[in-house]
Chain A
Amino acid sequence: MNGGRPITDDDLQGYIDDAIDSRRRAEVEAYLADHPQVAERIALDRALRGAMRDALGPIADEPVPAELNLSRLIDRHQRQRRNWRSGPWQVAAALLLMVMGGVGGWGLRSAQEPPRAGIAALAQEATDSYAVYAPDMGRPVEIKAADAPQLIQWASRRLERPVSIPDLSGAGYSFIGGRVVPTPHGPAVLYMFDNGKGTRLTMLSRNMAIDRDTPMKLGNAGRVTSVSWSRDGLGFSLVGPLGEAELHPIADVARAQFNQAI
């Protein structure tokens, strides 16, 4: 027994992790020499540490997948910021107006606000609904899939036209239910889908006053992507935490089904 500070469990942990200075280390070693049972335990801890490092070390040598390519992620982030705020042309136009001394630059304010109408507004509403309802673990939907006819009846009455639920099971997403949600452009119906692995998609659908027939448009907001289109005055926007390459084909399937249904 040495006369120094008593050896603590923290010292032993530090010894196992090579995280103590050499003086303390010598003290721990002296202690272990006097206490073979503790020494045995610590030897096993060290062996386990080595085995863990051997087993898990190689994971960090695996090639990094393309989705985790940092420069790509940064690129995308910057593109999104530009899209969110204003394009280079709007900046140039605003500068020109300011140079000319006009107050017109003020009018460009609206370009920086969320879209107020049309398919862009629909995409925004769909993204907002996704953000609120999709992560909801307790009550993501008001009417469950089992009561789908009830949902269709409710939504058809509120939208004043027949609606139908797309079948995305081919892509691995089963319908879990839905609800009617408010938008600045009247009631919309929200359908929710889940792939059983925690990934959810939602589809928002409502009547369109403008942009009544538009081809598919892609949107991005953070981690979620939206694919939006309209036909015969009914707008659709599919939203999910997937890349364009994954989400677009699912939207194609849904659109084909709606086109048949109409």
Chain B
Amino acid sequence: MLLVEPLIPRLRRYARVLLRDSVAADDLVQDCLERAISRWHQRRADGDARTWLFTILHNLAMNRLRQTARRGPHVPVEDASPATIARAPDQEAGIHHRDVMQALDRLPDDQRAVLLLVTIEELSYVDTAKALGVPIGTVMSRLSRARARLRDEITGRDKPAAPYLRRVK
């Protein structure tokens, strides 16, 4: 359990950005920790606690997102942390944090998840694939698509002629 505690802030961050709701995110992290506690003995001895926790959290988050999707659209983005988002723009690239956050919010959930795990939580591609339960090729293509979309949103080429359709299996 010593390995778990230092990861809690990261789990909160991932859940918050994924769910766009800090209260629901903390509920989810609590759920995740409770599951981790009761299943601690089932953890693979050779496994990495971080990947294992993100796997649990991600599955809970996806269930939750599916539930909210079924209940209809929900209020747009709670500003994850207005204070931090509203900071000065990145001078070098002229990118405003707020724009990045909004673009991130418009990504499909599965692309956002990959981008967050890789970019923010610094999971390797292999661990990201494990946490999401998908092949590594899927991670790479989602990552590439997420970045392309983010780029288009930021540079203003985000006016699709047709509504964006998402494959739902």
Stretch from A27-35, A70-78, A210-218 contacting the other chain: A70-78
| Chain B: CB-nearest residue to A138 | B70
Contact A48 B154 (CB under 8 A): yes
Q: Which of A13, A77, A137 is packed against the most chain B CB atoms within 10 Å?
A: A13
Contacts of B81 in A (CB 8 A): 58-59, 62
| Chain A contact residues, majority secondary structure | helix
Q: Which of B30, B85, B151 contacts A55 (CB 8 A)?
A: B85
Contacts of B80 in A (CB 8 A): 56, 59
B138 at the interface (CB under 8 A from A): no
Residues of A within 8 A of B (CB): 9-10, 13-14, 16-17, 19, 41, 44-45, 47-62, 64-65, 67-68, 70, 73-74, 77, 137, 197-198, 222-223
| B1-31 with Cβ < 8 A to chain A | 1, 4-5, 8-10, 12-13, 16-17, 24, 26, 29-31
How distant is the Cα of A196 from the Cα of B10 in the complex, in angstroms? 28
- Excluding A54-B90, A198-B71, 10 further A-B contacts by CB distance (< 8 Å) are A13-B143, A13-B147, A16-B147, A17-B118, A51-B90, A52-B120, A60-B9, A73-B34, A73-B37, A222-B34
Q: Which of A50, A68, A77 contacts B29 (CB 8 A)?
A: A68
Contact A19 B95 (CB under 8 A): no
Contact A48 B34 (CB under 8 A): no
Contact A137 B1 (CB under 8 A): no
Return 8 A-B CB contacts under 8 Å, by A number: A17-B118, A51-B97, A51-B100, A52-B115, A54-B87, A62-B81, A64-B8, A77-B38
B68 at the interface (CB under 8 A from A): yes
Min Cβ gap A183→B in Å is 27
How distant is the Cα of A53 from the Cα of B115 in the complex, in angstroms? 11
How distant is the Cα of A13 from the Cα of B29 in the complex, in angstroms? 29
Min Cβ gap A24→B in Å is 14
B57 at the interface (CB under 8 A from A): no
Contact B1 A45 (CB under 8 A): no
Q: Which of B10, B143, B150 contacts A60 (CB 8 A)?
A: B10
Contact B151 A41 (CB under 8 A): yes
B59 at the interface (CB under 8 A from A): no
Contact B151 A45 (CB under 8 A): yes
Annotate B127-154 by CB proximity to A: 1 below 8 A, 0 otherwise. 0000000000000100110010011001
| Chain A: CB-nearest residue to B33 | A73
Contact A59 B13 (CB under 8 A): yes
How distant is the Cα of A171 from the Cα of B26 in the complex, in angstroms? 21
Contact A68 B8 (CB under 8 A): yes
Q: Take A68-B26, A70-B5 as given contacts and tell me if A47 and B95 are in contact as well, using a CB distance cutoff of 8 Å.
A: yes
Contacts of A222 in B (CB 8 A): 34
Contact A60 B12 (CB under 8 A): yes
| Chain A: CB-nearest residue to B151 | A44
Q: Which of A44, A53, A222 is packed against the most chain B CB atoms within 10 Å?
A: A44
Contacts of B90 in A (CB 8 A): 47, 50-51, 54
Contacts of B24 in A (CB 8 A): 197-198
Q: Take A60-B10, A73-B33, A198-B71 as given contacts and tell me if A13 and B144 are in contact as well, using a CB distance cutoff of 8 Å.
A: yes
B52 at the interface (CB under 8 A from A): no
How distant is the Cα of A224 from the Cα of B13 in the complex, in angstroms? 25
Contact B12 A68 (CB under 8 A): yes
Contacts of A137 in B (CB 8 A): 67, 70-71
Q: Take A60-B9, A77-B34 as given contacts and tell me if A198 and B95 are in contact as well, using a CB distance cutoff of 8 Å.
A: no
Contact A57 B97 (CB under 8 A): no
Contact A61 B119 (CB under 8 A): no
Contact B13 A60 (CB under 8 A): yes
B155 at the interface (CB under 8 A from A): yes
Contact A44 B93 (CB under 8 A): yes
Min Cβ gap A111→B in Å is 22
Contact B140 A9 (CB under 8 A): yes
Q: Take A48-B151, A67-B30 as given contacts and tell me if A58 and B124 are in contact as well, using a CB distance cutoff of 8 Å.
A: no
How distant is the Cα of A222 from the Cα of B140 in the complex, in angstroms? 37
B101 at the interface (CB under 8 A from A): yes
Q: Take A16-B147, A67-B30, A198-B67 as given contacts and tell me if A52 and B100 are in contact as well, using a CB distance cutoff of 8 Å.
A: yes
